[in-house]
Every structure is written in structure tokens, then in C-alpha cells.
Chain A
Amino acid sequence: MSVTFNIVRSRPKIILQLGAILLLPWVWAAFVMPLWASGVCAALWVVAFRFAVHLFVVPRFKRRRASDSSLTPEQIIDMRAPTTGMFTIDPQTVRGDLDSLHSGLRRWQETSIVSSGETATARDCVGEVISQTERAVLALTLSFRGITTKTRQQMETAMSLLKRSAEQVNISPGGWLSLPDYIHAYEMQLLEVVENMVKFSGSSDEMLQHQTKIREQSVLIDELLDELRSMATRIGRLALDSSMVAGESGKHRDHLIELSDSIRETSNKTFDLTRTVRKSLETIRDELVVTYKVINKTAVIAKESAQRAKADVAQLNITMIAKTREVEESLSKINSLGGAIQQDVNNAFIAMQFQDITQQQLEHMRGNVLADVVRTMDTLSVETQEMMKKEIFLDIQADAKRLNVSLGDRPRAALDANGAAGASPSATEVELF
């Protein structure tokens, strides 16, 4: 019952519309109907009205009230309704409340002044932060660029070691050589040395062959000497025989003996000479044997040295090629690292740009937000100061007194169920609800 009453009180328009809708079917025929039928219709209208209110209006009303709190609509209405006692507060109490309000406003004003000053300080600090950050990032960027430039130069210098010069064939003495050029030149020099050693070894072999031929010739000479010696012996014997024959002959005996003696003497001399030549030949042969042994030994050493040198050069070349490859690989790694460094540089440059974006945001905060805050705080301070003026408080006191009189006589039920007249700080606002 009380719910229906509350609904009627809070939603009179809806209730009137609903009543009118239910009344219409009877009203148009009321003039032609008998009185008893009109009475039945009136009774039915009351029943239908109650039924319609409970069916359509009450559930919506309850739903809406349910969101307010767990309190029943009656409790909410009771709480919102102004008490009669509130409007009968003693003016002295109102004065005390106003003093409290005054001191509260004073504190608020003081706080807003302090906050305004602090916000201005914060604004200056933000400006300083922007300036310092910019200087720091500028210095960082410069240093970073210096590092990257030097790193790139190092990398380029290292990579140039591998570049084969186009004019490597005609390199001036003392001129700059790249690493591959140097290796190539060294390799050519070593090959030349090995070739010379091989040539020397070949010459030794040739010399040995000549020596062998000389030895063969000396054997021939030896044989000729033997023949010559035998011929000289035979001539000596023939001369002796001739001398003996000449002694037996008469007429030219002396002359023939003299001749045969001369021949024998010459034969003996020839024999002696062949012996001397043989001795010389034997000496030469002995010397040749010694020379042959020495040359042979030298040739063997030279040959072995040449072969060893050739093997060493080959090994050295293999090692140098391997080393060159290692250097190439290392430099390739350096090169790829250079690419990675470039990527890092790009990333660092991107990161440095965030400083600019942050700076823009800070500038916005400093120029707009903080400036607005300072302005707002100043305005609040001024307005609070205005509110603290005594005339306003006197007006409020006067209004409170008037309110006490005007509202004290009003019946509680006449107040709007949804209104919070008593809660409103402004007495004149009560009429709006």
C-alpha cells in the first residue's frame, strides 16, 4: 500500500496517464449507460487501476530503486526527506559551522597558493630537465658518432689489407703492398731461389759427367803412354841390335854405332818422359777422383737442399695460404660485425629520437598542462578568497535564518521524495527540486 502511495507521490504523471487510459473505455459510454452499470464500471476501474499499477509500474520502480542500495525505497525516502529539526537549528550552531567552513576555505586557499608555487617550480624543473637531457643526448650523439666513425675507419683499413692492388706487377721499391701482394711477391722470390738451386744441382750433374769423360780420356792417354813406352823400349832394343850389327860390318861401323847409340838414348829419354807423363796423369787422376767425390757430394747436398727448399716453399705456401684464409675469414667476420654495428648505430639513432618525442611531451606538459594547473590554482585561490569575504557569510546566515522560518512550517510529506532539500548547501536551490 505504501509502495503504491509512494509511486503516486513520485510519479503522478504516469499514474494519471494510466488512470486516463483505463477510464476512456467507460467514459465514452457513461452517458448512455444506466446508473448501476456506471457504478460497476467505476468499481472495476479501481480494481483495474490497482492491477495495472502493480503489473507495469511497481516492478520498474523497484528495479530502479534496487540500484541505489540495499535499502528499501521507503528507507531511501525517509533518509532523503529533510527533518523538521534541521530547519530549527540554532543560529549559533550555524555560525559555528560557518566558522568551520571559513577556516576550511582558508586552509584550502593556503594549500592552493602553496600548490601553485610548487607547480611553478615543477614547471621550471621540467624545463631544466628538457635542457639537460638535450645537452646530454647531443653530447652522446657526438661521442657515439665519433666511435662509429673510428670503428668504420678501422674496419675499412683492415679490409684494404685484402684488396689486391691492380698495379701489383710494377710495385715501386719500398712502396705499399697489400697482404695478398706481399704473399705473392714472397712466394715468387722463394720459387726463384728454388729454381736457382735446382739449376745449380743440374750444373753439378753436368760437371760430373764432364769429369767422367775426362777420366775416360785419361785412361785412353794412359793406354797411349803404355803403347809409347812399349814402342820406346822396342826402339831401344832395335838401336842396340843395330849397333851390334854395325860393329860386325866394316866400312860405316863407327858411324852406325854412333847413330844407334843416339837412337837408344832418345828411346831412353822417351821412356823416361812417358814415365813422367804417367806420373803426372796419375796425379791428375787422383785429383780428379778427389774432385769428383767433392763435386758429387756437393751436388747431392745441393739436390737435397733444393728438394727440401721446394718442399719447404710448398709447405710455406700452404701455411701462408691457410693464414691468408684465416685473415680473410677474420676480416669477413669484421665486415659482418661492421654490418651489425651499423644496425646497432641505426637502433641507437632511433633510440635517441625518443628523447625528442619525450621532450615534446615534456614541453607540452610544461607549456600547457603545468601552466594550466598554475592558472587554475591561482584562480581557485582568488575565488576562495572571494568566498571568504564576510558579506557572503553574513548572507548565508541571513538565508539560513530565512530558511529556518520558511521551511520549518512546511509539512514533511509535501517535500519531493527524490529531493534532498535539507542536504543542499544553497537554500534557494530547494525550489528547483
Chain B
Amino acid sequence: MANILAVEDAATMRQVVNFTLSDAGHTVVEAANADEALAQVAKSEFDLIICDVNMPGRNGLELVKLLRAMPNFRFVPILMLTTEHREELKAEGRAAGATGWILKPFDPSVLLDVVKKVMR
């Protein structure tokens, strides 16, 4: 099972992501913003990062760019979990190095399928 970092400013959404993944046997670490996420990645290794786009402070895309600049996280899958469906933003995410783009609200089973797929 994977060690997953969930970066999301909304506590409810963090909780839903956490419950969905931990029920499936994954270990989930939560971060409320990009700075907390960076602090977490500095002290732990993660197999997958799930990140919101719109967050206070640094947004999700900036975080992705910072993570991709780190040698440890160059090839770690990063999924964007957001309500944003604009194509230009998706393209920006892809260019930043995001692995996938999941629209909220998400079906827990779909999230698990996507996680399984990117973890192969």
C-alpha cells in the first residue's frame, strides 16, 4: 500500500480524501497548504501526491513546479484534485508536471481506480 500526501485547504475535502484512501489500506498524510506540503516532503518520502489547485498562498500548480524541481519527487505521480475544468489551466498543470486531473466532486471508487492506475 502507498504512502500518500493529500494537499487540500478545505478540511472536509482532506477528510474525505483521507477516509477514502485509508479505508483502501493506504497511509495518508494531510497538508492544508503548499507550505505544509513542502514541510512534509522534506521529512518523508511519498509514493503519490494529491493536490488541490486553488489554495491560499502558493497554489497547487506552483507546488507541483516546486516538487518537480526536487530530485526525490521528479517522478512521483502528482494528481490535481480541483473544481477547475478550464482547458488552459489543465494545460498549465500538464506543463507543470502534474500526472492527472480529477474534477471535484469525485467518486471515491474513481479516485481509488486512478490511484491504482498511477501507482503501477
Contacts and interface: CB of A to CB of B under 8 A. Distances in A.
Contact of B83 (A142, A345, A346, A357): A357
Nearest to B112: A346
B19 A145 contact: yes
B107 A355 contact: no
A354 interface: yes
B11 A134 contact: yes
A351 B13 CA distance: 11
A277 interface: no
A352 B83 contact: no
B106 A353 contact: yes
B91 to A, nearest CB: 22
A138 to B, nearest CB: 6
Contacts of B19: 141, 145, 349
Given A350-B106, A350-B107, A356 B13 contact: yes
B10 A359 contact: yes
A401 to B, nearest CB: 58
A137 interface: yes
Given A145-B19, A349-B20, A138 B104 contact: no
A353 B109 contact: no
Contact of A349 (B11, B54, B108): B108
B56 to A, nearest CB: 9
Nearest to B81: A353
Nearest to B8: A356
Contact of B15 (A138, A345, A357): A138
A356 B104 contact: yes
A360 interface: yes
Contact of B13 (A142, A346, A353): A353
Interface string B13-37: 1011001100000000000000000
A354 to B, nearest CB: 6
Contacts of A355: 12
A360 B19 CA distance: 21
Interface in A79-130: none
Nearest to A145: B19
Contact of B105 (A138, A353, A359): A353
Interface in A341-398: 345-346, 349-357, 359-360
Q: Could you say which of B11, B12, B109 has the most chain A C-beta atoms within 10 Å of its C-beta?
A: B12
Q: Is the interface of B mostly helix, strand, loop or mixed?
A: helix
Interface string A41-74: 0000000000000000000000000000000000
Nearest to B110: A346
A134 B108 contact: no
Contacts of B15: 138, 141-142
A356 B109 contact: no
A339 to B, nearest CB: 11
30 contacts: A134-B10, A134-B12, A138-B11, A138-B12, A138-B15, A141-B16, A141-B19, A142-B15, A346-B107, A346-B109, A349-B19, A349-B20, A350-B105, A350-B106, A350-B107, A350-B108, A352-B12, A352-B16, A353-B104, A353-B105, A353-B106, A356-B10, A356-B12, A356-B104, A356-B105, A357-B104, A357-B105, A360-B10, A360-B54, A360-B83
A142 B22 CA distance: 13
Contacts of B105: 350-351, 353-354, 356-357
Q: Could you say which of A134, A345, A349, A350 has the most chain B C-beta atoms within 10 Å of its C-beta?
A: A349
A164 B105 CA distance: 42
B52 to A, nearest CB: 9
A352 B108 CA distance: 11
Contact of A137 (B12, B104, B107, B108): B12
Interface string B89-116: 0000000000000001111110000000
A346 B19 CA distance: 11
Contact of B16 (A134, A353, A357, A360): A353
Interface in A130-163: 134, 137-138, 141-142, 145
Contacts of A353: 12-13, 16, 104-106
A354 B12 CA distance: 10
B13 A345 contact: no
Given A357-B83, A357-B104, A360-B54, A349 B16 contact: yes
A357 to B, nearest CB: 6
Contacts of A350: 105-108
Given A134-B12, A145-B19, A345 B108 contact: yes
Contacts of B54: 360
A327 B64 CA distance: 53
A428 to B, nearest CB: 47
A16 to B, nearest CB: 52
B10 A346 contact: no
Nearest to B105: A353
A345 B83 CA distance: 21
B65 to A, nearest CB: 23
Nearest to A354: B105
A346 B108 contact: yes
